[in-house]
A and B are shown apart, each in its own frame.
Chain A
């Protein structure tokens, strides 16, 4: 029991580790005290309603401090610091969950009232006040995102193939570096670029869907390149060498051996990159504009898109404020649902499609 003796030197009352039951009691105590305080504050009229976020945060703080003091007394300074930091780090995680929970909760609660058939079957044409829907915006988003995907995927895939299979020396280094830099382009700058590009040819009043697709491609290409590159690098070299040894040309090796091996990861990457750009608002606000009617033509006139729809419904509330807010929240809910489906679908696909043995 020498360890016990050395450790007991650091703690005034002898080394007694905190047991699980002590920890749980402390937690229960802090929660009770904190919620008690907030209930009293609420009943006393200091706060307008029971502040659950405040109560949880105060409970966490009380708990961390209590554990620290207890541990300091029974376990010594070093162990107490360890417990304090563990508590703080866990609290950091829990605090970050608060906005996520609050955001999803508010979106679902506020979005459900208009999450109905009308929303998905009508546009905002001639709608003032209640009614109307986001079909035009949904179609616009699907078209523009689809066009952006059509531009980005071939370019991104081929660039990644170049970087992994062919690229040597300065040029591939430069491409790698600038792809990384491009990942950080602010979305609004991409929108301005698309506008500047088309304004030179079509004049400063230009607004059309394909411009939005170009802007989104600028944001999407680097993500596709990055993820595809990572996946291609995971393909074992033995597969390539076996293919060469059989006399298969390099391009057929890439197309028939390398790409099929990595296809799960590549599709996952593409879906995640779509989920990243489908919620972009700023570039579309600039180059695509907004419309209240259906417009299926990417090459002429303004188009509505879901993110811009949410923004304009909020920003230009009419007389019947609630109707506009409801539509904005429903738009937001649809957007979040699309993004979540893409995210979970991507993860599921990567599980299903990854080659046996790499799971």
Chain B
């Protein structure tokens, strides 16, 4: 028995340099993400450790300040999701299964255009066009269904309420949710669809029986990604909302809970001393919240890849 002869290709300098630089770039991404976390923690530590009286005049400290902001962030994002999700599923189904094949791609582009509009333009549009347009409708709501706590008065005179913000946010996240769910719906195995149709199902029954069950995991991750975007959206909220630091479920009043991101954008330019650290601390919280939401989305997507019969 002789040992098997190992043939090794010569180590080339070019290969080594190239693979090392590729590796370095890859690791650099991990380092950047770690650096984001480390620097945010480092700069927000003073806020966590500071004397509560230095942070807010009523002595409630960092957590007393941050509570309403976290509430406002989640509340606005949840409302936006509530509006965006049904519309997005509808649009995705329209593009993937109902619109004529030739039109479908073009229609997809049109929805993608919405994603390309900068958020500051959305903010400008929200405050000059949308808010005045929906204000009469808000008045009507308060007058007629004001007994529901959500729609309780007094109504905001400007229309710059959390509901308007939710509508703007919904418009901003619709393209994200639509793009992913459209892809998922298009991946439905043709055999499933044709089997359903062959059994005499109408198109809607086919969508119910074949497309939606197949697309559910993808839909969940699309929703989470949209939620992540809505949580972190800054300028549209900062410009449209008339903010205050409160916890309130009322949708149409002039006192609205503001979000972490909008609060940072509005107060950072003038902040100094411990105020800067407090704002960075709230930013760290936002980072953690979106990190959790996005990780859930990614895990859902990866599971689908592993178990779906389509791949």
Contact = CB atoms under 8 A, between A and B. Distances in A.
A180 B25 contact: no
A93 B91 contact: yes
Contact-size category for A: 35 or more
A40 interface: no
Contact of A159 (B25, B171, B229): B25
Contacts of B19: 162, 166, 250-251
Contact of A95 (B24, B87, B297): B87
Contacts of A307: 118, 120, 235
B94 interface: yes
Contacts of A86: 98, 203-204
A319 interface: no
A97 interface: yes
21 contacts: A89-B93, A91-B90, A96-B114, A96-B171, A99-B114, A103-B121, A107-B124, A166-B23, A167-B26, A186-B287, A189-B283, A193-B39, A195-B280, A279-B118, A281-B120, A281-B265, A282-B235, A285-B268, A285-B269, A307-B120, A310-B120
Interface stretch (B62-70, B105-113, B246-254): B105-113
Nearest to A289: B269
Interface stretch (B30-38, B51-59, B146-154): B30-38
Interface string A171-210: 1101101111111111111101101110110001000000
Given A92-B86, A192-B264, A332-B121, A249 B14 contact: yes
B131 to A, nearest CB: 13
B39 A200 contact: yes
Nearest to B288: A189
A166 B22 contact: yes
A221 B32 contact: yes
A13 to B, nearest CB: 19
Interface stretch (A28-36, A123-131, A334-342): A334-342
A82 B65 CA distance: 51
A286 interface: yes
Contacts of A230: none
B290 A188 contact: no
Interface string A151-171: 000111111011101110001
The winner among A92, A181, A184, A280 for most chain B CB atoms within 10 A is A184
B244 interface: no
A162 B23 contact: yes
List of 7 A-B pairs having minimum Cβ-Cβ separation, nearest first: A186-B232, A279-B118, A92-B90, A158-B25, A251-B18, A184-B294, A162-B22
Given A106-B128, A186-B286, A251-B14, A90 B234 contact: no
B23 to A, nearest CB: 6
B39 A100 contact: no
Contact of B276 (A204, A276, A315): A204
Nearest to A186: B232
Given A188-B265, A286-B264, A249 B12 contact: yes
A282 B124 contact: no
B209 interface: no
Interface residues on B, range: 35 or more
A281 B119 contact: yes
Contact of A89 (B28, B32, B33, B98): B98
B40 A189 contact: yes
A79 interface: yes
B295 interface: yes
B203 A82 contact: yes
A189 B285 CA distance: 10
A88 interface: yes
A181 B294 contact: yes
Q: Kindly name the residue among A89, A174, A255 whose own CB sees the greatest number of chain B CB atoms within 10 A.
A: A89
Given A336-B118, A343-B116, A100 B110 contact: yes
Nearest to B95: A93
A28 B93 CA distance: 25
Contact of B129 (A95, A106, A158): A106
A270 to B, nearest CB: 15
Contacts of B294: 180-181, 183-184
B291 interface: yes
A254 B18 contact: yes
A339 B120 CA distance: 13
Contacts of A165: 22
B174 interface: yes
Given A172-B26, A250-B15, A315-B239, 19 more contacts: A89-B90, A92-B90, A93-B91, A107-B121, A154-B25, A171-B26, A180-B298, A186-B231, A186-B233, A188-B286, A192-B40, A193-B36, A196-B43, A221-B32, A222-B29, A249-B12, A281-B118, A282-B264, A340-B116
Interface string B147-171: 0000000000000000000000001
Contacts of A197: 35, 39
Nearest to A158: B25
For B22, B110, B127, B280, the residue with the greatest tally of chain A CB atoms inside 10 Å of its CB is B22
A218 interface: yes
Given A162-B25, A179-B29, A250-B15, A281 B264 contact: no
Contact of B171 (A99, A158, A167, A250): A99
Contacts of B269: 285-286, 289
Contact of B264 (A155, A159, A188): A188
Contacts of B40: 189, 192-193, 196
B273 to A, nearest CB: 8
A85 interface: yes
B125 interface: yes
B116 A311 contact: no
A275 B116 contact: yes
Contacts of A193: 35-36, 39-40
Contacts of B117: 100, 103, 279, 336, 339
A282 B204 CA distance: 43
Most buried by A among B118, B269, B297: B118
Contacts of A325: 128
Q: Which of A196, A221, A339 has the most CB of B within 10 A?
A: A196
A258 to B, nearest CB: 12
